[in-house]
Amino acid sequence: MTNRFNTSELMPFDSTPEFTPGSLLIATASLWDTPFQQAVILILQSNPSGTIGVILNQPAGDEIKFAWRKLTGQNLDDRFLVSGGPIDGPVFAIHQNHHLGEIEMPGGIFVTAQANKFKELVNLKNSPYRIAFGIAGWKPGQLQSEVNHGLWYCSGSSSADQIFSDPNNLWDEALVRHGRNILQDLLGKTNVQFPDSPLNN
């Protein structure tokens, strides 16, 4: 894990989120023109040793597509194959199939890293998944510093419809949902109806 940004030069951003498995990180405008531009990251693990997550909406490049074909002999729709982050790590699947799951996360989400299960998973119908190559990672305290300096929004929980949303729309949808959650918290209400567009207000 490397320190990608000199956060000491940034203005502080008041936030004290909890990074728990299943929560989402949403890149702010401060990460424009970086490898994390418009990234939405699912937190997989967070402990005193650091935090690990996977980018859900970064398209896989030709090198990853080739590696997938070599591993499985299959082509895969670009929506389902993603570059999970800049740190090399195991190829793994994020899905909702209990039978093929190895690690269970909140919300009925499972993680699988056994290559022999990938083919079975991708051949299932009506079972959403993502295959990720690589991870994103932070040293102890590094992610908190980046959030405090306005690089990330942290959404306390995620759902399957967010995780498996169309990658092309995921960042926009995550921002809208995060903003609505903040307004609901401020208003102390959970049943507030918001228009799809501010113009409909």
Confidence of residue 193 (pLDDT cuts 50, 70, 90): low
How distant, in Å, are the alpha carbons of 41, 46, 55, 161 from that of 115?
23, 25, 20, 25
Confidence of residue 189 (pLDDT cuts 50, 70, 90): low
pLDDT above 70 coverage of the chain, percent:
83
- For 158, phi and psi rounded to 5 degrees? -130, 170
pLDDT at position 13 is 35
Instruction: Measure the CA–CA gap between 132 and 122, rounded to whole angstroms.
Output: 13
Per-residue model confidence as pLDDT tens digits over 173-182: 999 888 877 7
Residue 149 CA from chain centroid, whole number: 20
Mean pLDDT of the chain: 82
pLDDT at position 190 is 55
pLDDT at position 195 is 53
CB burial of residue 32 (10 Å; 0-12, 13-18, 19+): exposed
Higher local confidence (pLDDT), 18 or 88: 88
Q: What is the DSSP string of 24-89?
A: EEEE-GGGTTSTTTT-EEEEEEEETTEEEEEESS-B--HHHHHHHHHHHS----TTTEEE--SEEE
Per-residue model confidence as pLDDT tens digits over 87-121: 987 889 999 999 999 999 988 899 999 888 988 88
Amino acid at 178: H
Per-residue model confidence as pLDDT tens digits over 35-66: 999 999 999 999 999 999 999 999 888 888 88
Instruction: Measure the CA–CA gap between 98 and 108, rounded to whole angstroms.
Output: 8
Contact in structure between 21 and 44 (CB atoms under 8 Å): yes
R_g (Cα) of the chain, nearest Å: 17
> What structural domains does the chain harbor?
18-187 (3.40.1740.10)
Note the helical H segments in 27-94.
Answer: 62-72
Q: What is the mean pLDDT of residues 193-201?
A: 49
pLDDT at position 1 is 38
Contact in structure between 59 and 83 (CB atoms under 8 Å): yes
In this prediction the pTM is 0.81
Instruction: Measure the CA–CA gap between 178 and 145, rounded to whole angstroms.
Output: 20
pLDDT at position 181 is 73
Q: Of how many residues is the chain composed?
A: 201
Close Cβ partners of 88 (under 8 Å, ≥ 6 residues apart): 134
pLDDT at position 29 is 93
Residue 38 CA from chain centroid, whole number: 11
pLDDT at 79 over 90: no
pLDDT at 78 over 90: no
Instruction: Measure the CA–CA gap between 12 and 20, rounded to whole angstroms.
Output: 22
